[in-house]
Chains A and B, each alone.
Chain A
């Protein structure tokens, strides 16, 4: 147990590539089906500490079902899932609570509690897990979390219905980050956002994950997101994870769906945009431009 924090620090500070990466989520032989419809069959996947893993796949390949299996909303037919080295399937709620403290989840529609203000939403996990925190400290925590995710200062007292789609997602991230989790699940974070909002959101996720040393499990359809922030990408097809790797590694594979996905017109556009952005960033660093 005591080695975990050290590894984490090493990974962030030195980024020693030769060290064996610690596995945060490990999925082995996962099978899911609804009636006759098979969603997953013998699916295997590892998520390493500190990485942003993108999960892609066509509609209906079970990306959300995979997420729901990991976080315990869906009981798989068979298979093993460990999170932080602990089995999560079939465990009673009380034993899952300590694991739940260590992850945060942003659902597709943000899933903010509509009867609570944004600040109260952020405080819900804090109140649930740490009932002894004082009201003053709770308010302060909510405040800096709200600012941290880039929401304007008057958002705290607003209700979700008064927010735009992008602001809702930011508020959702603030709630997901309330407990300072090590692991963040994001279900299509940029879906429904305009390109500018989506790019800003990508930056936010990358920033937060780098600064806070988060491991991010990210389901997305957004090629720009994949190119700009994901360390590795897992491809779901034929009921399995058919490939995991960096985008160049995936491009080298001879898989029909992967080729079509990344080589299609949208894939190429995203690739070019990413290259341009990287050039720009390199130029900025060259001229001594600071990070914002």
Chain B
């Protein structure tokens, strides 16, 4: 029967002998490695005659003990000698861990490389924008090269399939704004102005901003993951060698789809938010729908709608570009696809909000209050 690996420590003829017994195999090692590590002294005789079975790990332990303690191996049968010879041949210094730096150097290094990466990304994104413009210009010169099908296909994924979630989300946001606004305004007896709050917030900011976040999460991420996987599978390289420009075939249709669909989705989201607010006003504040709609017409200036329609395609451009750019940066492995996808979404949302702030200041300055 097979049994747990063990050894007996004895002194024979004035020399210390380790009699190994049982199975020197990985499943049966037990505490053998620890016991061997605790041994003190040198010049052992390692007796393997009591060993039933041995695998390379058992052979390694015996070999290592012999090497470190200046021991001698006796009593091994032919098979065991073969194994011992193999592990002895394979006993070479191997670099198992990457070199570790001291902590302060590592932190400084990480900080430095993060800064450099951030800078490179911004330049890269700028360069990508340039390449995109050039591609667009080229395609505009040869309209036949424009891939209408690719763009229209994206419309379904980016736009039509997003209608449900964007609509529902905006409807709920509309209700929340109305509810919170009504509570505050009630204190001044000005509940009727809840309508103003809903209408202007939805059209000017919330509709387009919430849509941008949703599109970044749904489509920006999928662009990055798609292109990243394609790069890993060398599809992009194959395309280049066939003479198809990846910018033209992959990036342009995707970016165009978000640019064209963001205004539509943003407007739709604004309407959904107003609808949500309207329902709340009707049910809770007893403002009838007719009155609500009339008030909306009076309250919302046309410039608000223009503002939405100007901001939305810019946000779409950013989302599409961030997604495609990060996807195209994938070089080596599957983990990178995940990282780049996350980065694409974070970058898109961050840039959208920064730009939104700029837009807000800008439109106020030009008098679109």
Contacts and interface: CB of A to CB of B under 8 A. Distances in A.
Interface of A: 2, 5, 9, 12-13, 101, 114-115, 117, 119, 126, 130, 133-134, 136-137, 139-148, 153-157, 159-161, 179-180, 211-213
Interface residues of B, number: 38
Given A119-B94, A159-B333, 16 more contacts: A5-B2, A5-B53, A114-B335, A119-B97, A126-B26, A136-B37, A142-B96, A144-B60, A153-B94, A156-B96, A157-B96, A157-B97, A161-B332, A161-B333, A180-B26, A180-B55
Contacts of A140: 60, 64
B26 A130 contact: yes
A134 B34 CA distance: 8
A113 B241 CA distance: 29
Given A114-B334, A134-B34, A157 B56 contact: no
A211 B59 CA distance: 13
A154 B79 CA distance: 30
Nearest to A123: B96
Contact of B52 (A5, A13, A139, A212): A5
Contact of A133 (B33, B52, B96): B33
A12 B90 contact: no
B71 to A, nearest CB: 17
Contacts of A146: 94
Main secondary structure of the interface of A (DSSP, over half): helix
A147 B94 contact: yes
A142 B90 CA distance: 11
Contacts of B26: 126, 130, 179-180
Contacts of B89: 147
Given A114-B332, A140-B64, A144-B87, A157 B79 contact: no
B342 to A, nearest CB: 15
Contact of B79 (A12, A134, A148, A180): A12
A9 B79 contact: yes
A144 B1 contact: no
Contact of A115 (B33, B60, B61, B333): B333
Contacts of B33: 133-134, 137
30 contacts: A9-B79, A12-B79, A13-B78, A115-B334, A117-B97, A119-B96, A133-B29, A134-B34, A134-B37, A140-B60, A140-B64, A142-B96, A143-B90, A143-B94, A144-B56, A153-B93, A153-B94, A154-B94, A155-B94, A157-B95, A157-B96, A157-B98, A159-B332, A160-B333, A161-B333, A180-B25, A180-B26, A180-B55, A180-B57, A213-B79
A157 B94 CA distance: 9
Contacts of B297: none
A146 B1 CA distance: 32
B235 interface: no
B149 interface: no
B333 A114 contact: yes
B69 to A, nearest CB: 15
B79 A13 contact: yes
Interface in B37-70: 37, 52-53, 55-57, 60-61, 64
Contacts of A145: 56, 90
B27 interface: yes
B63 to A, nearest CB: 9
Contacts of A136: 37
B90 A144 contact: yes
B91 interface: yes
B95 to A, nearest CB: 5
A157 B96 CA distance: 5
Contacts of A139: 96-97
B237 to A, nearest CB: 15
Contacts of A179: 26
Nearest to A122: B96
B82 interface: yes
A117 B331 CA distance: 17
B57 A153 contact: no
B92 interface: yes
Interface string B84-114: 0011011111111110000000000000000
B272 to A, nearest CB: 41
Q: Which 7 A-B pairs have the closest CB atoms?
A: A114-B333, A161-B332, A143-B94, A180-B55, A147-B90, A144-B90, A119-B96
